[in-house]
Structure 1
Amino acid sequence: MYVKYPPAVKRFTSLFPNNLLFANDIKEDETSHILNENFLDVLNSESSTERTIINFIKDNQAYFIIASILQYYSFGHHETYIFPEFQLGTSYKVDYLIVGKGSGGYEFVFIELEHPNRNIVLKAGHEGEAFRKGIQQIHDWKFWLNASFHSLHETFRKYKNPQKDLPEEFLITDPSRWQFVVVAGRRSDFSEKMYTKARDVKQNGILLLHYDNLYDKTKDILKHGSF
């Protein structure tokens, strides 16, 4: 019956009412299709930067574009929450945190956005500064999370429904529930060497994507109504 609840009821009964994103509601909204095409226009502009993209998503509340990343994972189909510019203590700020719930409970996706069209790859086809910077940022987050994840419950309490308690996944340090993503460049930037690099770092829990992946996966969400 939850699927049939009005959006306001879903938010009111959820763990993080102001951060809830529900895929079935997005499918029925023609505005979402238009926003995704506008997102592609932003990507195609040579003047766009990662800040341009962050501002576009924020100003249009097009958080489903970021949530499309969940199509690379097997959780989020029960509940999906988006936290823009999520603070890790006083040390770091994550561009987007996705919290998704599946059959195994809640999992966390920490996302770093880098430049869409500058310093993506070297002439030899290896990763350029944008991806190197993003990967280093992920390593810094991992170090912080392993030492201080237990302290994040104070941050999550600022967002949560006062009528609900935080589940233990938010209280216990469990790296098996953490995923990391770096998004930079376009499909045309991904040479065979870049795909090799992406496979290598994936073994360390880091997913490397280009921005066309987000556009394509968002189209899938809008067509099928699920993450």
Structure 2
Amino acid sequence: MGRYEKFISELDNSKNEREIAKFLKENLILIRNTLNANAWNCVICKPEFKIGTKYIADFLILSANSGCWNVTLIEMQSHMDKIFLKDGTASKGLREAQKQVQEWEMWLDNHKSEFRESIADLAKGQAAYCSNAIRHTHAETELRDPKVVVYFYFKILIGRRNFLDEDTNQRRSKFGDIEVVTFDRLLDYAKYLDENA
């Protein structure tokens, strides 16, 4: 049984996001390669990443390219959650996830150096990727340098594609600076991996 069939089985038989999280932790490539911010160097995917002492992102993806580092923080809700209600307003699950992401953003605004320390620790031992090699040879020193650019991306993983019609799909794409992603994007990639194994 390939990843796609296993993932379909998990989606069909799991009651909540905790049960799905176990499968995704064992298959981090699905998160890493579908939700990354298009950077190709030093891609690190970490489940249950602490943001300070109060918050935990379900997944963090740290990646670099020649000009910057990217941090993608992912809040996961249930695959069974509706994304929008019939009247077009955000569902309870989506509102809860949005509130969580906004709390992360507020914390990050006030704790930039503390957060840089935590991602630098995560990248310890990796080569530097976006600065002049004379200044930095290791990712951890590069990430601690306040002159090195770090971009943040926020994503909510929730629901299924078939929960969306044309109107709500457009609404999903206009959800501010937070990208709303269905579990089907990961499922599509699982199928791709199986077909190209």
Same fold, TM-score > 0.5, yes or no: yes
Q: Is 1:149–1:172's contact at 8 Å kept on the other side of the alignment?
A: no
Task: Name the SS for the 2:174 alignment partner.
Answer: helix
TM-score (norm 2): 0.80
- Correspondent of 1:69 among 8, 13, 34: 34
Instruction: Specify the code of the residue in structure 2 equivalent to 1:209.
Output: V
- Taking a change above 3 Å as real, the CA distance of residues 175 and 141 of structure 1, as seen in their structure-2 partners, is farther
- Correspondent of 1:114 among 74, 77, 89: 77
Query: CA RMSD for the aligned pairs?
Result: 2.7
Instruction: Specify the code of the residue in structure 1 equivalent to 2:48.
Output: E
Q: Is 2:11–2:79's contact at 8 Å kept on the other side of the alignment?
A: yes
1:43 Cα deviation after fit = 1.2
- Taking a change above 3 Å as real, the CA distance of residues 41 and 170 of structure 1, as seen in their structure-2 partners, is farther
Separation of aligned partners in 1, 2:181 and 2:85: 17
Residue in 1 that maps onto 2:21: 54
Separation of aligned partners in 1, 2:139 and 2:169: 42
Residue in 2 that maps onto 1:205: 177
Structure 1: which 5+ runs fail to align? Answer: 1-32
Residue in 2 that maps onto 1:44: 12
1:222 Cα deviation after fit = 5.7
Q: Is 1:126–1:193's contact at 8 Å kept on the other side of the alignment?
A: no
- Correspondent of 2:103 among 140, 157, 166: 140
TM-score (norm 1): 0.71
Residue identity (%): 25
Residue in 1 that maps onto 2:132: none
Deviations 1:93-137 (A, max 9, x none): 000000112232321100010011134332334321111111111
Deviations 1:54-103 (A, max 9, x none): 11222xx21011113246x431x222101110001112100000011223
Higher helix share: 1
- More deviation in 145-154 or 89-98? 145-154
1:167 Cα deviation after fit = 4.4
- Taking a change above 3 Å as real, the CA distance of residues 214 and 108 of structure 1, as seen in their structure-2 partners, is same
Structure 2: which 5+ runs fail to align? Answer: 127-137
Q: Is 1:101–1:107's contact at 8 Å kept on the other side of the alignment?
A: yes
Residue in 1 that maps onto 2:59: 96
- Taking a change above 3 Å as real, the CA distance of residues 206 and 118 of structure 1, as seen in their structure-2 partners, is closer
